[in-house]
């Protein structure tokens, strides 16, 4: 069923940042306030694409304004412990170093962006498996300049993820990628995807590329809460199992979460089977009120929610 209303006006595309491993510091995720209004992405409701884009990257700026893409560009002065600060887009460190996030505690929340040495003699490339020394956030890994080891589980092993190139106002990724602000203000390139196909790599799912009221693009992100399915509590964009999406409680009849609960994605061109989860649910288009999907492949994306 496709409706021409603001049905998805309060659908929660909660902010996608890394899962904080500690409870004694402010969490690195940004909680959604589940409010209505315009999307918070600086790029609107479409994905930021290609090397020719002139828009700012899709961002997940927290409600308190404490982090934004601009925060990743810092001066070249020395940090307190000797690590030179740098421009993560420009990668302006000396040879053998790279500009990368750093945290002084193993809490997955970076304290700054700085130059750090690349570990080992054979730097890994984006998409390769990689190793983190000490803890995720230490800034010490074996990924090459322009990337870092994304180790969601903080077990020392991860995958090299490319930083966006260009500048904060003109981010650059490959044509099939989107520049997305992740990990407390870090611009990373993630593959675009079709949420109805869910063809992302293992341990990833296809999720919206911004905190927005529907109308977003979709990118492959690490699944944080990969076992969360229908009715399970969620509070991050990537906090549901692949094939499910986080919506605010009023759109999911069994939801008692403070922020949202997972509900299935659906294909608006296929027979509506949302009632198999709850007889009150209907398949409603993700794109509302004139919103244009960033690609034709996304035109039939919907979510199983309570009808208006």
CB 248 within 8 A of CB 257: no
- Tell me which residue has tokens 């000396």: 94
Q: Encode pLDDT of 203-238 as tens digits.
A: 899 999 987 767 799 999 999 878 999 999 998 889
**Distance from CA of residue 247 to its chain's centroid?**
16
CB 32 within 8 A of CB 234: no
* Segment 234-257, tens digit of pLDDT: 988 899 999 999 988 998 998 987
Domain annotation covers residue 99: yes
- pLDDT at residue 57 in the model: 45
Find the farthest-apart pair of alpha carbons in the chain and give their distance in angstroms, rounded.
61
Place 16 in a pLDDT band, splitting at 50, 70 and 90: very low
Mean pLDDT within 6-21: 35
CB atoms within 10 A of CB 307: 14
Query: Mean pLDDT in the chain?
Result: 76
* pLDDT cut 70: percent of the chain above it: 72
Residue 98 lies in a domain: yes
* In-domain check, residue 205: no
Question: Per-residue pLDDT for 90 more than 90?
Answer: yes
User: For residue 234, is it within any domain?
Assistant: no
**Backbone φ/ψ region at 148: left (φ over 0), alpha (ψ -120 to 50), beta:** beta
Residue 58 pairs in a beta bridge with 180
In a domain? residue 177: no
Residue 25: the pLDDT is 28
Query: Cα separation of 176 and 173, whole Å?
Result: 8
Q: What's the whole-model pTM score?
A: 0.75
Q: What average pLDDT does this structure show over 107-112?
A: 82
In a domain, 93, yes or no: yes
> Does residue 3 carry a pLDDT above 90?
no
More confident residue, 53 or 308: 308
| CB atoms inside a 10 Å sphere around CB 128 | 15
More confident residue, 248 or 9: 248
pLDDT of 28 over the 70 cut: no
d(CA 44, CA 181): 14
Per-residue pLDDT reduced to its tens digit, 173-204: 999 999 999 877 899 999 999 999 999 998 89
Residue 118 belongs to what domain range? 74-160
Q: How far is CA 144 from CA 72, 94, 119, 203, 227, in A?
A: 19, 13, 9, 22, 32
Interatomic CA distance for residues 192 and 200, integer angstroms: 9
pLDDT tier for residue 83 given thresholds of 50, 70 and 90: low
Judge whether 112 lies within some domain: yes
Domain count, the chain: 1
Nearest Cα to 89, choosing from 146, 137, 161, 159?
Answer: 146
Cα separation, 216 vs 202, whole angstroms: 23
Q: Residue 71: pLDDT above 70?
A: no
pLDDT for res 84: 66
Residue 124 has pLDDT above 90, yes or no: yes
In a domain, 141, yes or no: yes
**Per-residue pLDDT for 103 more than 50?**
yes
């Amino acid at each position: 069923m496709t409706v021409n209303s603001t049905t998805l006006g309060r659908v929660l595309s909660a902010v996608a940042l890394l899962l904080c491993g500690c409870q004694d510091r402010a969490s690195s995720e940004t909680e959604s306030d589940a409010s209505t209004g315009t999307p918070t992405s600086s790029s609107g409701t479409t994905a930021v694409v290609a090397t020719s884009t002139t828009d700012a990257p899709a961002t997940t700026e927290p409600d308190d304004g404490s982090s934004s893409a601009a925060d990743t560009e810092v001066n070249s002065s020395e940090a307190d412990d000797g690590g030179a600060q740098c421009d993560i887009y420009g990668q302006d460190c000396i040879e053998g170093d790279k500009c990368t996030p750093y945290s002084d505690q193993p809490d997955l929340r970076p304290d700054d962006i700085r130059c750090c040495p690349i570990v080992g003699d054979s730097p890994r490339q984006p998409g390769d498996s990689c190793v983190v020394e000490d803890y995720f956030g230490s800034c010490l890994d074996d990924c090459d300049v322009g990337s870092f080891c994304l180790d969601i589980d903080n077990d020392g092993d991860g995958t090299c993820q490319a930083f966006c190139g260009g500048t904060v106002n003109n981010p650059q990724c490959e044509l099939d990628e989107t520049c997305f602000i992740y990990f407390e203000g870090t611009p990373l390139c993630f593959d675009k995807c079709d949420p109805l196909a869910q063809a992302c790599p293992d341990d990833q799912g296809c999720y919206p590329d911004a905190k927005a009221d529907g109308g977003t693009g979709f990118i492959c992100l690490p699944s944080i809460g990969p076992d969360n399915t229908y009715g399970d509590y969620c509070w991050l964009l990537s906090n549901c199992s692949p094939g499910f999406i986080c919506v605010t409680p009023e759109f999911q009849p069994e939801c008692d979460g403070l922020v949202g609960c997972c509900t299935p994605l659906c294909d608006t061109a296929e027979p509506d089977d949302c009632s198999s989860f709850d007889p009150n649910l209907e398949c409603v288009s993700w794109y509302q009120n004139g919103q244009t999907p960033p690609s034709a492949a996304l035109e039939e994306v919907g979510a199983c929610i309570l009808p208006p």
